[in-house]
Amino acid sequence: MIELDGTRARTRVRARVDGLVQGVGFRPFVHRLAREHALSGWVRNDERGVLLDVEGETAALQRFLERLRGEPPPLASVERVSAEPLAPTGREGFRILDSEAGASAGEPAALVSPDVAPCADCLAELFDPGDRRHRYPFINCTNCGPRFTIVRGVPYDRARTSMSAFEMCASCREEYEDPASRRFHAQPNACPACGPTVALIERRGTPPPAGCAPAGKDGRAGAGAMPGESALAGAATALLEGRIVAVKGLGGFHLACRADDERAVAELRARKRREEKPFALMAPDLAAACALVDLSPAEQLLLSGAQRPIVIARRRPGARIAEAVAPGSADLGVMLASTPLHQLLLADTGRTLVMTSGNLGDEPIAHRDEQALGWLGTLADAVLLHDRRIEVRADDSIVRALGATDRPPLMLRRARGYAPRSLPLPVPTAPMLACGAELKSTFCVAQGTRAWVSHHIGDLRNWETLRSFGEGVEHFAALFGIEPEVVVHDLHPDYLSTRYALEREHVTRIGVQHHHAHLAACLAEHGEHERAVAAIYDGSGLGGDGTVWGGELLLGDLAHADRVGHLRAVRLPGGDAAAREPWRMACSWLLAAFDGHAQLPASMLGRVEQQRWDAVAEIARRGTSSPLTSSVGRLFDGVAALCGLRMTVRDEGRAALELEAAAIAAGRERGAYPLPLIEAELLELDARETVRAIVGELAAGVSPAVVSARFHNGLAEATARALSLLARREGVRIAVLSGGVFQNRLLLERCLELLAASGLRVLTPRALPPNDGAISYGQAAVAAAQLRASPSTASASRSTASDSSCESPAPASKRSPSMP
Ligand SMILES: [Zn+2]
Ligand SMILES: [Zn+2]
Ligand SMILES: [Zn+2]
């Protein structure tokens, strides 16, 4: 805080406010505050944040600065207020000035706010027949509304958003210019007279003729469109009649249908060609959501909070939902309306709706009207469009409730509502881009002590996603004013994210080992610099020895990590094919557990051809096209197949999810299979004994549910024992649990229970997911720490990590990305 000379009657300061202060009603707040304290001057946005110049009576100015920090508007987050004194001018009045581009180069940019669900005031107006915005689907104010998904550039002003296409009417402009209005400088401010409109394009289940009903030049839907209220009524009727409607949301299109209509949901599943993943639900209100899933009070707050994520929680017995919504799952994913448009649809139908991403398979969610009127239209019977352009594609965010535990929920997918909020970086860095991994990909730009992790981009094995990745990088770089001098990537040379990094010229390149990035991401988000022991369990990542890692015990900090233990490695028969065919891992683990003999077990008879089984056993024995892997994800696959749950999967991790669901069905089973720790050069978790126990119990008629629970318990016990042992030996006080396998709530809870007695501080991911969505941030944290430790090497381009355990990586398996 600036020292103000209390002896002078009049003082003037130029102050800068850093933090999330644009697009959140900060300037009107400053304006109001200044007038309350009888101060004169101005306030404006620039590329860094908010700048103000105020003068007045010294004591009043002091109080003003205190309140500036202490009472910001609900969506703002003030990180720093710096002020310098200037000579008073004696001017009168207080003004809000237009934004000005051209802040000093190299400074971190202003923080663009995430999108915000409708606030209580706007909802009240939405349903008030006397209000001029009664039932207007684009109602918003400074406290709510679209932000990130409509922004084209900074500073955040209407001209640099997709609202620039709409000219405000006199009434809206009056609100916009009135400091006393809730819509003062609300950039997306609009009303039925001047703002975006909805239109319904009826398809009636037939594929659209080529070039049908294109959006007009002004973005409004063409022939066949029903405007406004009739469009909403038509959509609600279609939904109630059991039809499928594509709905344009904040960051992309959803496909919606009644959640209680077995036929409609089954039809949607068939049209989406996606038989496996559960569909998300949108409930009309909190009470309806609570009738579907078990939610703690904290989780109810999360569900109804401004971010409006999908919350995955235990399904309540008797939840009235079609079986096809989430077959084989103990959980349901539920959200509340994220826009006024959704709010109206739910009010008009009075039903919980399936609200699943408008995409096919692993492709990114559709976000352009052309897509909706083209291929997406063939999946829906009608398309509910609007003419406000989506600038940034953003999926729904997903969090997983941890139920009875008082731990915060697990972030599984961080996108709409959370991105692009920044995370602190514990070590300051030069302008940096970290490119992430391959599945569940994100990227991260960073500068100084701030990192912006992108919204979930998706599976980078898909060319459409790669294009989205490249566009996203450019957008973030522009939005936050970052020209990367350092580019960080995974060690896997075949990841498209790595190739993207290697194509960037005139930069310092740093490769970071995958599991070290997982560890660092967790340490960094907790602001932790100390050394930690870590269990990093996931599907796969290229290890420093050229094999496929995924069950790693690491000892390290932000800059450096050593592999100190791992799951016993077995063959990955057929490489990537093993991730899609869990039965191959069952075969591989049987070979390991029974001295090279693997009989097709009774639980899998008739599900796998004997000939294929024999062929896979043979390549695994010889090691042909079968790299070694220490992956815990693949061990889960093998056990799921042994239990007869899954022989093939479309998404990685599906078999493990069903194994967890089976274990939960077993209730409070506390038995655990042996999983010995073998002390050699590295500590080895030897799961061969576990596999022998599983085979024996299944043969003896023990149910797959009980077997699954005992498997989870055994792995948790071994993990806790290994971490405690390593921590004692190395004199370390912190343990980290991360990697995609720890999306498994049962395993995570068991590990936490068992580690509670160890005296260790156990860190788990919070703001970011345990899965590969956190890799980009972890890479940034590692690279920043390494550059600080040895800045001299920063001048040369280098492509391998200085991490001793990660030198000279060789690809485990050459593959090419799958083409659409
Ligand atoms: Zn509002
Ligand atoms: Zn208007
Ligand atoms: Zn991973």
Q: Are 698 and 643 in contact (CB under 8 A)?
A: yes
The closest ligand to the CA of 516 turns out to be: 3
Q: Is the dihedral of CA 428, 429, 431, 435 positive or negative?
A: negative
How many residues does the structure list for the chain?
A: 820
Q: Give the per-residue pLDDT at 459.
A: 87
Phi, psi dihedrals of residue 335, rounded to the nearest 5°: -135, 170
Q: For residues 782 and 557, what is the distance between their CA atoms, to the nearest angstrom?
A: 9
Tell which residue, 379, 413, 382, 372, has the closest CA to residue 396.
413
Q: Count Cα neighbours of 126 within 13 Å in the Cβ-side half-sphere.
A: 21
In the reported structure, the alpha carbon of residue 738 is separated from the centroid of ligand 3 by a whole-number distance in angstroms of 9
DSSP 785: H
In the reported structure, the alpha carbon of residue 175 is separated from the centroid of ligand 2 by a whole-number distance in angstroms of 9
The residue to which tokens 């930690």 are assigned: 532
The closest ligand to the CA of 196 turns out to be: 2
In the reported structure, the alpha carbon of residue 419 is separated from the centroid of ligand 1 by a whole-number distance in angstroms of 19
Distances (CA, A) of 97 to 50, 51, 81, 542: 11, 10, 19, 53
In the reported structure, the alpha carbon of residue 530 is separated from the centroid of ligand 3 by a whole-number distance in angstroms of 22
In the reported structure, the alpha carbon of residue 97 is separated from the centroid of ligand 2 by a whole-number distance in angstroms of 22
The closest ligand to the CA of 738 turns out to be: 3
Q: For residues 443 and 484, what is the distance between their CA atoms, to the nearest angstrom?
A: 12
Q: Give the per-residue pLDDT at 794.
A: 45
The closest ligand to the CA of 73 turns out to be: 1
Q: Give the per-residue pLDDT at 809.
A: 38
In the reported structure, the alpha carbon of residue 274 is separated from the centroid of ligand 2 by a whole-number distance in angstroms of 42
The closest ligand to the CA of 652 turns out to be: 3
In the reported structure, the alpha carbon of residue 232 is separated from the centroid of ligand 2 by a whole-number distance in angstroms of 20
Tell which residue, 650, 639, 694, has the closest CA to residue 671.
694
Residue 486 token pair: 């350092």
The closest ligand to the CA of 120 turns out to be: 1
Q: What pTM was computed for the model?
A: 0.88
In the reported structure, the alpha carbon of residue 457 is separated from the centroid of ligand 1 by a whole-number distance in angstroms of 28
Which amino acid, residue 690?
Answer: T
In the reported structure, the alpha carbon of residue 101 is separated from the centroid of ligand 2 by a whole-number distance in angstroms of 27
Q: Give the per-residue pLDDT at 110.
A: 55
The residue to which tokens 């599943």 are assigned: 269
In the reported structure, the alpha carbon of residue 291 is separated from the centroid of ligand 1 by a whole-number distance in angstroms of 27
In the reported structure, the alpha carbon of residue 190 is separated from the centroid of ligand 2 by a whole-number distance in angstroms of 5
Instruction: Tell me how far the alpha carbon of residue 605 is from its chain's centroid.
Output: 39
Neighbours of 790 (CB within 10 A): 10
Which amino acid, residue 169?
Answer: C
Q: For residues 493 and 542, what is the distance between their CA atoms, to the nearest angstrom?
A: 9
In the reported structure, the alpha carbon of residue 227 is separated from the centroid of ligand 1 by a whole-number distance in angstroms of 24
In the reported structure, the alpha carbon of residue 133 is separated from the centroid of ligand 2 by a whole-number distance in angstroms of 9
In the reported structure, the alpha carbon of residue 229 is separated from the centroid of ligand 1 by a whole-number distance in angstroms of 21
Residues 6+ apart with CB under 8 A from 420: 111, 112, 114, 148, 452, 454, 455, 476, 479, 480
In the reported structure, the alpha carbon of residue 136 is separated from the centroid of ligand 1 by a whole-number distance in angstroms of 13
Neighbours of ion ligand 3 (CB under 5 A): 538, 541, 772
Q: Give the per-residue pLDDT at 208.
A: 37
Q: For residues 213 and 376, what is the distance between their CA atoms, to the nearest angstrom?
A: 14
| Binned average pLDDT, 10 residues per bin, the chain of 820 residues | 57 90 83 92 85 94 92 85 90 82 42 88 97 96 93 86 96 92 91 96 55 36 60 96 96 97 95 83 97 91 94 92 89 96 97 93 83 86 95 94 75 96 94 96 95 93 84 92 96 95 95 98 97 97 94 98 98 94 98 96 95 97 96 98 95 90 91 97 97 97 97 98 97 98 95 94 96 98 95 46 36 33
In the reported structure, the alpha carbon of residue 172 is separated from the centroid of ligand 2 by a whole-number distance in angstroms of 4
The residue to which tokens 């959140």 are assigned: 24
Angle made by CA atoms 475, 480, 485, in degrees to the nearest 5? 90
Distances (CA, A) of 450 to 108, 117, 429, 777, 784: 8, 25, 8, 10, 11
The closest ligand to the CA of 170 turns out to be: 2
Instruction: Tell me how far the alpha carbon of residue 204 is from its chain's centroid.
Output: 34
Please give the sequence-ordered ranges of beta strands (E in DSSP) within 493-651, or none if there are none.
508-512, 532-542, 548-556, 561-567, 570-571, 628-629
The residue to which tokens 């070290």 are assigned: 516
Q: For residues 305 and 299, what is the distance between their CA atoms, to the nearest angstrom?
A: 10
Q: For residues 655 and 123, what is the distance between their CA atoms, to the nearest angstrom?
A: 42
In the reported structure, the alpha carbon of residue 174 is separated from the centroid of ligand 2 by a whole-number distance in angstroms of 9
Tell which residue, 130, 143, 134, has the closest CA to residue 29.
143
Distances (CA, A) of 118 to 124, 150, 324: 10, 16, 30
The closest ligand to the CA of 189 turns out to be: 2
